[in-house]
A and B are shown apart, each in its own frame.
Chain A
Amino acid sequence: MSNIPEYNSITAIVIGCSVGGLNALRILLQGLPRNLPVPIIINAHVAADGTNLLPHLLANQCCLPVTEAREREPILPGRVYIAPPNYHLLVEIDKHFALSVDEHVCYVRPSIDVLFTTAAEAYREHLLGILLTGANNDGTQGMHTIKALGGQTIVQDPTTAEADIMPKAVIAMGVADRILPLSGIANTLREIATLYDT
């Protein structure tokens, strides 16, 4: 069983990052066990030129299938989904993805706030939100909603982040349950996997 009982009921994980995100994600995904019983949904700000190399780059690092989230796709455990460039990624209450080309939020699309907020409303207290390195304020609102709906939050320790603005903003708002370096976050993900192994 996990040392952290709140994680026992987690059924989905969302991760947000921008500057420095690729390296951070590599580290997190490398250690993921094959039997991860929950989906991981990632929003990393990438170039908006329509080409998304991220699923490809990360698939090599990870023993789980990594794909770009597609419109209307059901969200399944043991899968890693990446938000497509230039679309907001939303989670519907019935745990399907939706995409939109609505206005940019916090100057970005896909917006971490949009993903985190809709995921929080769909998964409520069963959601774990993780915010990593990044150089703007996107994600703060989303982490706030996750917390307010009873979910769990982890923020990358800003002193270990390539860009510390994003993690610092969440900590300043007082909605970070835990502040951990990447190795600590990776351990947590492994723990969540073992929870269901018994």
Chain B
Amino acid sequence: MEIKCPTSNLQDKLRIECIEINLFLEALYQRHGYDFHHYAKASIKRRIQALAKAYEYTNIADLIPRILHDETFLTATIARLSVPVTEMFRDPSVFKALRELVLPHLCSYHRLQIWQAGCSTGEEVYSLAILLEEAGLLKRTQIYATDINDIALHQAEDGIFPIAQLKRYERNYMAAGGKRKFSDYYITNEKFFRINQDLRKHIVFAHHNLVSDGVFCEVQLVLCRNVLIYFDTNLQRRVLNLFHTSLARQGYLCLGTHESLRAIETANLFKIVDFKNMIFRNNCETI
């Protein structure tokens, strides 16, 4: 098969695409206030390419009139640029560590507030609710689960997931030190399983943008995994400050296992509790 694109052509194409991406991000920002300029470049580029492809546009520039003039296109755009890929008890050792190292300290609070930022379609926040239930804490807990992807938030609210995943989630749950039968937490039909309403009713799902929105309440635990990897260092720093301000004096922060520590090291806002599982504690001596 012939190589369709001689070197110079593809290099031109890349240069043009780079201009198109900047213009598109600027249009999205100026028209709707969503600022993706500080997302990691290689990854946001892939998302924008996928968006254009999904709507069968040849060029990324074709997205610009659409995002400017078609109101209804915003939600779909955000949903495509965001990465709503998640699972229940992803990295079981993290949930085990939360169970063993963090929850015992939270027992002393009469009322608990927890913020899960970047909840996507909800699998992770329901996993957290199960942990809290098994520690006897769920009854006095209010969880705020936030995201910028409204389509994912709606799915999260429904709490209905494909049954094909169930086996893997059950394995994860056991590896995370699950104390009951996983089947205690859902009902099934042929294709889907639905998380029990008792777990659901302690969670409020809400739209919140880590780039532009501020603190909305004081919480004892912030869970924000696999979100900061999409941000550049400056934006990471902003968000870590936001978490620092939102957390109670001795509050906990849990990040994704492969997240960069550079921002957190320089920020000096948190003390390490469990490095491998990326669990930190708010450091209040700095303020």
- Interface of A toward B, CB cutoff 8 Å: 50, 70-73, 84, 87, 90-93, 98-103, 114, 118, 121, 124-125, 144-145, 147-150, 172-175
Name the A residues within 8 Å of B226 (CB-CB): 101
User: Contacts A70-B258, A92-B41, A98-B42 known; A147 to B85 CB distance under 8 Å?
Assistant: no
Flag whether B233 is at the interface (Cβ < 8 A): yes
A124 to B91 Cα, complex, angstroms: 36
User: Contacts A148-B7, A148-B10, A174-B3 known; A87 to B258 CB distance under 8 Å?
Assistant: yes
- Interface of B toward A, CB cutoff 8 Å: 1-3, 5-7, 10-11, 14, 40-43, 46-47, 83, 85, 91, 93, 226, 229-230, 233, 257-260, 262
Name the A residues within 8 Å of B85 (CB-CB): 101-103
A116 to B229 Cα, complex, angstroms: 20
Name the A residues within 8 Å of B6 (CB-CB): 148
Cβ A149 vs Cβ B3 within 8 A: no
Closest to B236 in A: A72
Cβ A102 vs Cβ B262 within 8 A: no
Name the A residues within 8 Å of B41 (CB-CB): 92-93, 98
A144 to B6 Cα, complex, angstroms: 11
A175 to B229 Cα, complex, angstroms: 33
Cβ A98 vs Cβ B40 within 8 A: yes
Cβ B260 vs Cβ A118 within 8 A: no
Cβ A101 vs Cβ B83 within 8 A: yes
Smallest CB separation, A48 vs chain B (Å): 10
Cβ A149 vs Cβ B46 within 8 A: no
Cβ A149 vs Cβ B10 within 8 A: yes
Question: Which of B3, B233, B258 sits near A148, CB closer than 8 Å?
Answer: B3
Cβ B258 vs Cβ A102 within 8 A: no
User: Contacts A99-B258, A100-B229 known; A124 to B11 CB distance under 8 Å?
Assistant: yes
Smallest CB separation, B168 vs chain A (Å): 10
A175 to B91 Cα, complex, angstroms: 38
User: Contacts A90-B43, A91-B42 known; A100 to B230 CB distance under 8 Å?
Assistant: yes
Given contacts A71-B260, A100-B43, 4 further A-B contacts (CB under 8 A): A87-B258, A92-B42, A147-B3, A148-B10
A87 to B91 Cα, complex, angstroms: 12
User: Contacts A98-B229, A102-B83 known; A90 to B42 CB distance under 8 Å?
Assistant: yes
A90 to B3 Cα, complex, angstroms: 24
A174 to B4 Cα, complex, angstroms: 11
User: Contacts A91-B42, A102-B46 known; A71 to B14 CB distance under 8 Å?
Assistant: no
Cβ B5 vs Cβ A148 within 8 A: yes
Question: Which of B2, B5, B42, B47 sits near A118, CB closer than 8 Å?
Answer: B42
Name the B residues within 8 Å of A150 (CB-CB): 7, 11
A4 to B43 Cα, complex, angstroms: 34
A100 to B259 Cα, complex, angstroms: 10
- 5 A-B pairs closest in CB distance: A72-B260, A71-B260, A90-B42, A150-B7, A148-B10
Closest to B233 in A: A72
Smallest CB separation, A56 vs chain B (Å): 15
Closest to A51 in B: B93
A70 to B263 Cα, complex, angstroms: 13
Smallest CB separation, B228 vs chain A (Å): 9
